[in-house]
Amino acid sequence: MGQQPVVSYAPFSVKSRMYRILYETRDFCSKQALARRCAVSMPTMYQNLAELMEEGLVRYSVEGRSTGGRRAQGLEIVPDARFSVGISVTEKNLRLIAADLRLREMAYQTVLFDTCALLTEGTADLSGILEAFLDDFSLDRTKLLGVGITIPGILNRDHTEIYFAPTLGLKNVPIRSLTENIPYPTYVDNDGSASGHAECFVRRGPRDMAYLSLENGVGGAVLIGGDPYSGDNERSGEFGHLCVEPGGLPCSCGKRGCLEPYCSPLRIEKDFGVTPEEFFRGVAEHNPEYETMLYDMLRHLAVAVNNIHMTLDCDVILGGFFSEYLQPWLPALKNYVRAGNPFNEDPSFVQLSTLRHHITPLGAALHFIREFITQV
């Protein structure tokens, strides 16, 4: 293994730099390598390492390879030393997830929830559901960093009000009824933005990308060098309302021809009364009506993908629970993208999300994980 470069984290304490280096190191890391990369003496390294171990954040690891003698002893973070909860709010249910410091799923649950009615009445209290979730999975509350919540809509700049959520039928509704009784730190974000941040996080390293979230509400996020671009009005990445068919299907926003009514899973439910899983099973069985709709969805999705790519000139990542079914149809989608691309460009910029399951609640949980990593 080649020598690792010294990493500069000038604004952070030695302990913080050590933790961040170990967090970002997925391979074996010896004590000597950690001291070298942190640019500190061995005594200083040992002093700060003792604090990290006493706090339960770092532990000894063993190198997988052996040269015949004792295996070398290294260091690694303890992923479950802390965890965060993410709650994805939709019009019909809540999706709750507990994620460790590596953003790996520890527990997951779906709960039926009439979001629109309860928010309108101002009684949409999530605290009881959250506490039951923590109890059901025996999650240690002393390790809970906070609770992230995502909403399928545009939030105001300080994230205290739902400015507009078409799929929920809400406008200018305060979100305090969701959080006011939760006895832990909370953070509320747009669902597409949170999902895009999670995707960028697991891909590691600064990058430019457009994330297109295919859930009941179609949205997304724009990330530049790994940092979110929110826009002047917090509306960046509202890809669901790109026009892909002028005068076409009616959209929940009140306009016609938006991407959302063409590529949302709700279209399948409204037209056929089946779930996406049942729909794609029917496609595999060559149900002609299902096949016709699928190829129509792919054509309109390709229009949106090309428009996004032409505007931003970066990878377009498809995520959300609908994308979980698209792997077999990715070649067909890329063919439509290629046909609509004026530069005859290789459509390899169209990719499926790395996080294939539960990306939206994971994105909600990510806020407090990232905050913890930078504040150790």
H-type alpha helices, the chain = 14-24, 31-38, 42-54, 115-121, 127-136, 176-179, 191-203, 259-263, 265-272, 276-284, 288-312, 330-340, 359-375
Both tokens assigned to 372: 């913890």
Q: Name which of 199, 171, 162, 190 is nearest 316 in CA terms.
A: 199
For the domain 82-196+359-375, what is the CATH code? 3.30.420.40
Q: Angle at CA 373, nearest 5°, toward 19 and 366? A: 145
Alpha carbon separation from 145 to 51, 86, 97 (Å, rounded): 19, 11, 13
Would the pLDDT of 11 be above 70?
no
Residue 282 is encoded by which pair of tokens? 């029917």
CATH 1.10.10.10 range(s) for the chain read 14-77
Condensed to tens digits (0 to 9), the pLDDT of residues 318-365 reads: 998 899 999 999 999 999 999 999 888 899 999 999 987 899 999 999
Task: Delimit the CATH 3.30.420.40 region(s) of the chain.
Answer: 82-196+359-375, 204-352
Q: What confidence tens digit (pLDDT) does each residue in 216-232 have?
A: 889 999 999 988 898 88
User: What rounded mean pLDDT belongs to the chain?
Assistant: 90
Angle at Cα 344 formed by Cα 341 and Cα 346, nearest 5°? 95
Pick the CATH number of 204-352 from 3.30.420.40, 1.20.58.100, 1.10.10.60, 3.40.50.880: 3.30.420.40
The CATH class that applies to domain 14-77 reads mainly alpha
pTM of the model: 0.86
